[in-house]
Chains A and B, each alone.
Chain A
């Protein structure tokens, strides 16, 4: 085999595998193990008592996690009940909600970013508000969303609410938390448009509209997409908190419900799923982002 390919295999397959194995061993070491002891009870009968022992007694071992999670992974789209569905079914619900909130974030965030980048006065006026709102946690936004949209109620033909206050609040929370990277990056991008390009627009006497679409937007696109990628990451981060608080079905909701049901193995399944999906989303976005990197 070519030495380069060998090196590649070593670096990108072997080394991560080693790290995964080490992590699993560490996990196994601290996880609780079932210990069965026999005891004679008060009536003189022998009974078996199962007790969990270990550093973190309630933490399931990797093998237990796998056994408990198997039905959810092998049949990822099964629907056994409202709160007992395949993991990808839950993920899909979460993704749909994230997509909606994320779209709202982009649709609002990008123009705001442009205004900030283009107008010094606008920046001066709104920068303090933005800087104060930016670090606020989703846990704080959600109740506000509930209050803001308490009147929202869309009812379908059978009288069931299809879109209520909690849905609106969920979207609001995702959108407002995910918006900031898009706003900031777009603004920075607009300010970083080379003067030369703007001079070209001036010399050619392009109209405002044409300058925007032919010069400003293309020159800002790389920055915008960096913002879009970071925003998507945050939207996905926020979803769990939102689902926990509103009790919507989805990975986050499932996680919380499994915690309350003492099925700890499923929590780990959810965490891993959330992580993998987040990683995949980030990779997808950076592929798109790479496309828009101009010379």
Chain B
């Protein structure tokens, strides 16, 4: 029996008039110990999909199962790493993790719980920052705390909703490696959501594209049979990696059909936005802008016409 199963689930938001279907006919099955990555466009319903499993979202049709039991509400057996970390800002690193541990392991002695918390802080290399508040940490450190908090609950499955999307490329690479390492040492089942095809292939056993049809559906799973540990420098030249990558991107692009589509890919764009000179009205001091910078926008999006 698979650990996690979704059968014919669909989900939409809103009521009659303004209703929009987000997911349709989702079927997914994840075996124990598997590392599954779901890749999809921004806004295509990835968070909605993972929240069907976490229990924060209920499907309109179909069902989500864990070990054959229907998922009706969130629970500590499904550890969720939130897209935006969601640490409680008034608690220190240690307290944030302790909040989870104290709740899940009520029967343990306080000493046991304390050690468990310390162990997980050390696992994500944050022992030196255990007594800091989230606002004193960098984005990467916050995400590590979030991962540690989730791992400390000893969940049956680790659900990660774009855990690294808000981070810069270098930090992202480091954390990809760190999380892969942690996974290899304890082999928890992982379902990881991302919008980055490279990241997907680098960390996954199995990649499933979330096809941006409206409403979105899951595509054919791709098995990633690359050797572990994967070295990110050499893997770029691995023909197998290149082939998988091309295949994945093509699947995603094709799904958008001939319509104009948007893909989130790593492309470097010039850091200047064109100036609008059409609107020269009577109050020049109002739009004395000069060139504007693009870097406020973290995702570098490029319009691709298929």
Question: Which residues on A are within 8 Å of B, measured CB to CB?
Answer: 196-197, 199-200, 202-206, 210, 214-215, 218-219, 221, 294-295
Q: Is B306 an interface residue (CB 8 A)?
A: no
Most buried by B among A210, A219, A294: A294
Q: How many whole Å from B31's CB to the nearest CB in chain A?
A: 23
Majority secondary structure of chain A interface residues (helix, strand, loop or mixed): helix
Nearest B residue to A200 via CB reads B86
Partner of A199, one of B75, B82, B99, B153: B82
- Inter-chain contact count A-B, CB under 8 Å? 53
Give the residues in chain A near B153, CB-CB below 8 Å: 204
- A200-B88 in contact (CB<8A): yes
Most buried by B among A203, A204, A218, A294: A203
| B 116-148 to A, binary, CB cutoff 8 A, 1 in contact else 0 | 000000000000000001110000000000000
Give the residues in chain B near A200, CB-CB below 8 Å: 82, 86, 88
- B56-A206 in contact (CB<8A): no
Give the residues in chain B near A214, CB-CB below 8 Å: 88, 91, 99
Given contacts A199-B56, A203-B80, contact A294 B90 (CB under 8 A): yes
Nearest B residue to A221 via CB reads B90
- In whole angstroms, what is the CA distance A251 to B203 when docked? 73
- A204-B88 in contact (CB<8A): no
Give the residues in chain B near A219, CB-CB below 8 Å: 90
Give the residues in chain A near B133, CB-CB below 8 Å: 295
- In whole angstroms, what is the CA distance A204 to B88 when docked? 12
Q: Is B12 an interface residue (CB 8 A)?
A: no
Give me 13 A-to-B residue pairs in the complex whose CB atoms sit less than 8 angstroms apart, sorted by A's number: A196-B84, A199-B86, A202-B55, A203-B56, A203-B75, A203-B80, A204-B76, A204-B103, A205-B74, A205-B75, A206-B99, A219-B90, A294-B90
- In whole angstroms, what is the CA distance A147 to B163 when docked? 63
Supply 5 further A-B pairs (C-beta < 8 A) apart from A205-B103, A205-B104: A200-B82, A202-B55, A203-B76, A206-B99, A215-B88
Question: Which residues on B are within 8 Å of A, measured CB to CB?
Answer: 54-56, 73-76, 78-80, 82, 84, 86, 88-91, 99-100, 103-104, 133-135, 153
- B103-A218 in contact (CB<8A): no
Majority secondary structure of chain B interface residues (helix, strand, loop or mixed): loop
- In whole angstroms, what is the CA distance A205 to B73 when docked? 9
Q: How many whole Å from B191's CB to the nearest CB in chain A?
A: 14
- In whole angstroms, what is the CA distance A11 to B292 when docked? 35
Q: How many whole Å from B57's CB to the nearest CB in chain A?
A: 10
Nearest A residue to B87 via CB reads A200
- A210-B86 in contact (CB<8A): no
Nearest B residue to A202 via CB reads B74
- In whole angstroms, what is the CA distance A202 to B74 when docked? 6
Give the residues in chain A near B100, CB-CB below 8 Å: 204
- In whole angstroms, what is the CA distance A203 to B53 when docked? 11
- In whole angstroms, what is the CA distance A219 to B56 when docked? 20
- B103-A206 in contact (CB<8A): yes
